[in-house]
With several copies, the nearest count.
Chain A
């Protein structure tokens, strides 16, 4: 990945701000000290997240959620057209259809999604380079879940 070690995120600080936000009902906190600058915010809709959740819904860390959201917004994202289980190769012994950095042509198989015992190929919508594979083989995917980014 990158050459220089990027400054690490101090998760504790973010968590502290998040819990402060939770506690105070704020929707945004910006905090700068000793060269660190943190701004956290919470959109009005998600304000209802202190809401009637008895048990936490789908386990997804805030960071993962943000990544997914970003991926979802990316123009090159290939999304799942169905709910099912994703496979990165045709069988466990075969190599993966694609790896990050591959160049793919339009209509090339990227992944398989199994639904109701049928394996549905997920094809590249356009030619390009695979920059991210967002799912692992054997994992369940929802409708609309980002799978791969082809740029």
Chain B
């Protein structure tokens, strides 16, 4: 593959600006595509060229494959970066991009397709040596069999109807004393609900963390992992704060899971960036899924590794080999990202509209990725994330202090934003102690809103 000279950025918002910046720093020309609602977007203003590809509705613009490929054709782009969301994990899009003679800046369509199919993905990663949530194969015969399996996996476990769904025919057994009851209950309910009493057993995680491992692979067989990110601070499956390294891992656990993941990626033959997401509980990792794209939270990894992931994506896509091996990658300090959304910090109602004064925090260790500017109007059609504040410090405490300081300097007038929620979070003892799981944020928000109402 030849060096890429002009990239079409098939995305919007902060990530489009992120990609544009990386291109500009590599001397690569940029083409911004945008809907009619995004004509004033920062990255559209900054791009070398821009093409309007459709109306505000994403399905007719950012999700329209013909519009994007036509824009690439008329602008003579030679590669397309999909960003995240939209078409980034659409294998058909990746395939069509390549069929039309453009370079897709990401993994192969086959790998996107494989990881997009939950069952096939799980089978593939098991084969490649990645740990998954243990589950019984075939139906559980009787209560004794259930106990045997429960002891193998370790309690708690969950008994689930093979034909099940919608939460019926499911029962958790907290300890070995509960397993017989749970088995009989689940079987009876399964029989009543689905006419099929067959049940299977899975290990049940009560308070897992969400920890994901970033990988980077080239087309020449080189694979490295860039450590993990802890993304346990989620609410309704939306990540709000991410950090690296995870407060729950030590260096040997990091090296161990990293090596497992690198080997698996190598075996699967994956290329470009990717993330393996895990649940983590009591020292064990359990595969959730693989994201075959750049992630929102990639900057925390960049901060602790000193590696520009978008630059690496472009280099790998142009056929270049990685310029470093695993031994060259050093983790330095701690980084936290706060996602700042245009939404009410308590009700979470979206808050699009015109930005009044805008002033981003500055100084040592502070990075802001945002397409906002004073006078910009946040359109109501898309995701509410309007800025990312990424802070780096030599250790987690320094990082937290810097985050407090910079959240206090951040001015986004005219909209409700999640800044006040982040400020509350930074004062929460559990968060300060790194003591949280994937359920923690939901409870924190509820409690915090309740106490505000008093």
Asked if A and B bind, the verdict is yes
A-side residues, CB < 8 A to B, are 22, 25, 44-48, 50-55, 57-58, 82-85, 115-116, 140-145
Asked whether A82 and B376 contact (CB < 8 A) given A51-B359, A52-B42, A144-B52, the answer is no
Asked whether A48 and B357 contact (CB < 8 A) given A25-B414, A54-B405, A57-B44, the answer is yes
Q: Would A46 and B408 count as touching, CB distance under 8 A?
A: no
B-side residues, CB < 8 A to A, are 24, 36, 40, 42, 44-55, 61, 66-67, 69-71, 73-75, 353-354, 356-357, 359, 361, 373-376, 404-405, 408-411, 413-414
Q: Would A52 and B75 count as touching, CB distance under 8 A?
A: no
CB < 8 Å: which of B44, B67, B408 contacts A83?
Answer: B67
For A142, the chain B residues whose CB sits under 8 A away are 51-53
For A82, the chain B residues whose CB sits under 8 A away are 54, 66-67, 70
CB < 8 Å: which of A22, A47, A52, A140 contacts B45?
Answer: A52
Q: What's the dominant secondary structure at chain B's contact region?
A: mixed
Q: How far is A150 from B26 in the complex, measured between Cα atoms in Å? A: 46
Known: A57-B46, A58-B49. 15 other contacts (CB 8 A): A44-B375, A45-B356, A46-B374, A48-B373, A51-B411, A53-B45, A53-B46, A54-B46, A55-B46, A58-B50, A83-B53, A83-B54, A83-B71, A140-B74, A143-B61
Closest to A44 in B: B375
Q: Would B55 and A143 count as touching, CB distance under 8 A?
A: yes
Asked whether A115 and B66 contact (CB < 8 A) given A52-B42, A54-B46, A143-B61, the answer is yes
Closest to B33 in A: A83
Distance in Å: Cβ of A55 to nearest Cβ of chain B: 5
Q: How far is A142 from B354 in the complex, measured between Cα atoms in Å? A: 26
10 A-B contacts (beta carbon < 8 Å): A25-B356, A50-B411, A50-B413, A52-B373, A55-B408, A57-B44, A57-B45, A57-B49, A143-B61, A144-B36
Task: Sort A-B residue pairs by CB-CB distance and give the 6 closest, nearest first.
Answer: A54-B408, A140-B74, A48-B375, A142-B52, A115-B70, A52-B409
User: Most B CB atoms within 10 A — which of A52, A55, A83, A115?
Assistant: A83
Q: How far is A116 from B73 in the complex, measured between Cα atoms in Å? A: 9
